[in-house]
Amino acid sequence: MIKHVPVLLVAIPLLAAFMIPMIGMVNRTARTVVGVIALVMILAASYYIAGDILVHGRILYYMVGSSNPEMLTEHGLTFPIRIGLKIDPFSLFFIIMTTTLVLIFYVFSTQYIEENERKNYFTVLFITMVAGMMGLLVANDLFTFFVFLEILSISSAALVAFRTERKHPPYAGYKYMFVSAVATSFFLLGVAFLYAQYGSFNIDYLKEAIRGTLLDKIAIVLLIIPLAMKSGVVPMHMWIPDTYSEAPAPISAMVKLGSLICLYGLFRISFSFGMSHAHVSYPLGVLFIVFGILSMFVGVTQALVQKDVKRLMAFHAVSQVGYMLLGMGVGLTVVKSGDASFALFGKVAMIGGLLHVVNNALYKGLLFLTSGVMVRHFKTRNLDAMHGLAHYDVFTTVVFMIAALAISGIPPFNGFVSKIIIYESVFQYNPVLTLIAIFVSILTLASFMKVFYSAFLGMPSSRRPMEQPVLVKCSMFVLAVFIVVIGIYPQGILKAIIEPAVNALINF
């Protein structure tokens, strides 16, 4: 059974997405339940394989269409197709994070998105988006990766434009689709460059075959820049505030998660293809650092002056990507240095960067969900028109505070843990980078103080207080619990998941 998990992670949500419209026509509750069952199944599957992969170091390979799916070559294929799937500790880390979060966001959306005939579309697109994410994470060949990148992009764009009755969401969806189309076209060009040279799409094969030629370098650039654009790296970030602010709250969180999965692709390709050649890995690492610092600084300074709560949070999403790039960039610069730098601080910087990915997904997800609650209560995204929410909604106030303190790097929440790891390790590489990172953290705190002061404090609002539905509260509560638990006991996730993931990225 375990050998089929890679394909099941994609097949289950795809099958559910096809079933949901038909079920939705008969019974709306059944449609929602089918979505939950599909997401619970992939969550269970990801935890089911975790022990084998993380403890015993097993790597799952799957060749779709083969009579023996675990065979690595095309021999024994029943059909002349070669869709190679693979799960190693690095992809498993992202899979566990994704399957956990999509279930929480879905549960939130079941009561947050109003029930009408369009909810069927919403559910189908949501589950298709999950299938796209899963496909990206298990793909072991570049063409399959491209296909799932397209699936993710199309479903995301449609969900961003979900509220078509309003003026701006369709425009934001179009913008996202345009950015994605440009990015994936260039990505496909990069894939073609590698295929033309080596005759294979397989990432493992290409990793060994790549010789660091001029064409290889061009291909690497064409592969990683589209992924950087989809991750929201400055200066290719301007689609993010437009998209995140117009999407419904759970979709903002999902698109953010999709960006983090593109970051997975960026790291996978950079380390797989760049690491074996120091003349590629070093400049690539330096560029990661430069883009990281730019993203951190531009993102946070832009966030600080926003008065639209969702745009403010979107700019913070840009800023937080900078920390991840900084940690991973420092690791990439010293990974082939031949001296003790990598053991001394490079690997720890990568661990900090990866921990920040999951931390960011948690508190950013929670912030987007709370922003949805705020917007629903005040009927506006304008912070100037908000005040006094804390008088009625203590629960949202508390979870918002937890998320805001976490993103600002305040102990004992999870953001502090990943930031302190990044600060300490990056300090040994270059102290100035740490100083910039700390400065950005201070501005982040200032920015969220502004939100808290504007929306939660002050005179009570004249609007009738709205009781949040149970599932909306439950989803936010679970995210808040994760934030606190990782903050108080980070050793568990560091030892069990993050460290094996970093080892896998370097060694496999």
- Which residues contact another protein by CB under 8 A? 175, 178-179, 182-183, 186, 214, 217-218, 220-222, 224-225, 228-229, 235-239, 241-242, 279-280, 283-284, 287, 298, 301-302, 304-305, 307, 343-345, 348, 351, 383-384, 386-387, 411-412, 417, 420-421, 424-425, 428, 446, 450-451, 453-454, 457-459, 487-488, 490-491, 494, 499
Query: Shortest distance, CB of residue 434 to another protein, whole angstroms?
Result: 13
The phi and psi torsions of 382 (rounded to 5 degrees) equal: -80, 120
Distance from C-alpha of 311 to C-alpha of 338, rounded to nearest angstrom: 44
| Least separation in angstroms between CB 336 and another protein | 15
The Cα–Cα gap between 141 and 200 comes to 8
Using the minimum distance from each CB to another protein, give the nearer residue, 108 or 345.
345
Select 175 or 364, whichever has its Cβ closest to another protein.
Answer: 175
Cβ atoms of 451 and 390 closer than 8 Å: no
Least distance from another protein to the Cβ atom of residue 161, Å: 15
Give the nearer residue to another protein in terms of CB position, either 402 or 417.
417
Q: How far is the CB of 490 from another protein (least distance, A)?
A: 7
Say which residues have a Cβ less than 8 Å from residue 455's Cβ, sequence separation at least 6.
Answer: 309, 374, 378, 383, 386, 387, 389
* CB closer to another protein out of 20 and 303: 303
Nearest to another protein of 57, 235 (CB atom): 235
Spatial contact of 245 and 302, defined as CB atoms under 8 Å apart: no
Cα-based distances in Å from 305 to 313, 323, 448: 11, 21, 11
Count CB atoms within 10 A of the CB of residue 478. 18
What's 233's DSSP letter? -
Q: Which amino acid is at 446?
A: A
Query: For 288, how many CA atoms within 13 A lie in the half-sphere containing its CB?
Result: 30
Cα gap 185→37, rounded to integer Å: 35
Q: Among residues 228 and 260, whose Cβ is nearest to another protein? A: 228
Instruction: Tell me the closest approach of the beta carbon of residue 477 to another protein, in angstroms.
Output: 20
> How many whole angstroms separate alpha carbon 77 and alpha carbon 65?
6
CA distances from 10 to 24, 136, 137 (A): 21, 9, 10
3-class DSSP state of 508? coil
The type of residue at 328 is M
Report d(CA 51, CA 76) in Å as an integer: 29
Judged by beta carbon, residue 142 or residue 220, the one nearer another protein is 220
The nearer residue to another protein, 152 or 236, going by C-beta atoms, is 236
Residue number, 90 or 429, with CB nearest to another protein = 429
Taking the complex as a whole, how short is the minimal distance between the CB of residue 365 and another protein, in angstroms? Answer: 22
Give least dist CB 152 to another protein, A.
18
Query: How far is 505 from 392, CA to CA, in rounded Å?
Result: 47
Nearer to another protein, 336 or 450 (CB): 450
Distance CA 136, CA 132 (A): 6
Q: Determine contact, residues 189/169, Cβ cutoff 8 Å.
A: no
Place of tokens 């997904």: 361
- Taking the complex as a whole, the smallest distance from the CB of residue 399 to another protein amounts, in Å, to 18
CB of 40 to another protein, least distance (A): 32
- C-beta of 450: minimal distance to another protein in Å? 5
**Cβ neighbours of residue 33 closer than 8 Å, sequence gap 6 or more:** none
Closest CB 480 distance from another protein, rounded Å: 16
Ranges of H-type helices in 335-407: 341, 347-378, 394-407
Query: Which of residues 66 and 454 has its CB atom nearest to another protein in the complex?
Result: 454
Give the list of residues 6+ apart from residue 238 with CB closer than 8 angstroms, or none. Answer: none
Closer CB to another protein, 46 or 302, in the complex: 302
Peptide bond into 412 cis (omega under 30): yes
Biggest CA pair distance of the chain: 71
Please report how close the Cβ of residue 459 comes to another protein at its closest, in angstroms: 5
